[in-house]
Structure 1
C-alpha cells in the first residue's frame, strides 16, 4: 500500500481514538473514494493517483461552497470548508503565485510555445510538475494569458 494511503488509514485510527467526528467523517469519505476508484478500475492507486483524487474532492467542495452561499446556506458552506482543510492536509504544500508563474514561464520556454495554439503542449508538460501543489484552473488561466501575450 502506498505511503499516502497508509497515512490516511493511520489518521483515521487516530481520529477514532480522539473521537473527532468531523475529521473521521472526512477521512472515511477519502477512503471510500479511494476504494471505489480501485474497485471500478480494478487497480491499486499509487500516491499520484490518490493526490489527483484528493484534488478532485477539494474542487468539488469549492463548487459546493459557491452553490451553498448562493442559496444562503452558510452552515453547509462552513461544513464544506472544514472538509477542504482536512483534505488539504494530505496534499503537498501549495505553490505561491510567484513560484507558479516561474514554473509556467520555464515550461513555456522549454516547450518553445509561441501562442494560444500551444496551450495543450504546455499544459501536458506543466500538469505533472504542479500536480497537487497548485490549482489547475488557476494555472490554466495563467498559461492562457501568458501565451496570448507571446
Structure 2
C-alpha cells in the first residue's frame, strides 16, 4: 500500500472513530500532498515525494512551536507537538543525534574536509542519507560542529 493510500485509510478510520484532531491533521497532510501534486502539473507523487512533503509539514510546525513559545502560548505548543507526533508516524524512523554524528563524521573523512569551506561537500554526502529522517537544522549544526574542531 502506498503512503498516500495509508494516509487516506487512516483519515477515514479517524473520522469513523470520531478522532477529530487526528482526522484534521491527516486532512491537512492530504491537502499539502494534493497541493504539491497540482504544482507538479497534476502528476501523482511517489512515496519519496510524499515523505518530502510531510517532512516540510513537520518542519513548519517545529518552526511554529518556537514562535508559540516566544508568545507564551503553551496550549498551541502542546497541540502542535501532537500534530508533529501524528505526522512523524508516516515518516521513516528518525535518526538519533549519535547516528547523525556518525554519518557526518564518515562524510568528513570521505571528502577529507578540513574547515567550514568544505561544508558544501560534506552536506552533499550527508543530505541524501538523512533526507526525511532528520531535521535539517540539526544536521547542519552537527556538520558545523565537526568542521570547527
| TM-score of the aligned structures, taking structure 2 as reference length | 0.92
What's the CA shift string for 1:58-113, capped at 9, x where partnerless?
11111212212221222222211111111111111111111111111111122222
Paired residue secondary structure (2:44): coil
Equivalences, count: 148
Separation (CA, whole Å) in 2 of partners of 1:118 and 1:45: 34
Separation (CA, whole Å) in 2 of partners of 1:15 and 1:132: 25
Separation (CA, whole Å) in 2 of partners of 1:79 and 1:23: 11
Paired residue secondary structure (2:67): helix
| TM-score of the aligned structures, taking structure 1 as reference length | 0.91
| Structure 2 equivalent of residue 72 of structure 1 | 72
| Structure 2 equivalent of residue 10 of structure 1 | 9
| Structure 2 equivalent of residue 58 of structure 1 | 58
What's the CA shift string for 1:20-72, capped at 9, x where partnerless?
10000000000000000110221322222211211111111112122122212
Gaps of 5+ in 2: none
Consecutive aligned runs of 4 or more in structure 1 exceeding 4 Å deviation: none
Q: What CA RMSD, in Å, does the superposition of the two structures yield over aligned residues?
A: 1.4
Separation (CA, whole Å) in 1 of partners of 2:69 and 2:99: 31
1:32 and 2:31 matched: yes
Separation (CA, whole Å) in 1 of partners of 2:128 and 2:45: 16
Separation (CA, whole Å) in 2 of partners of 1:115 and 1:83: 38
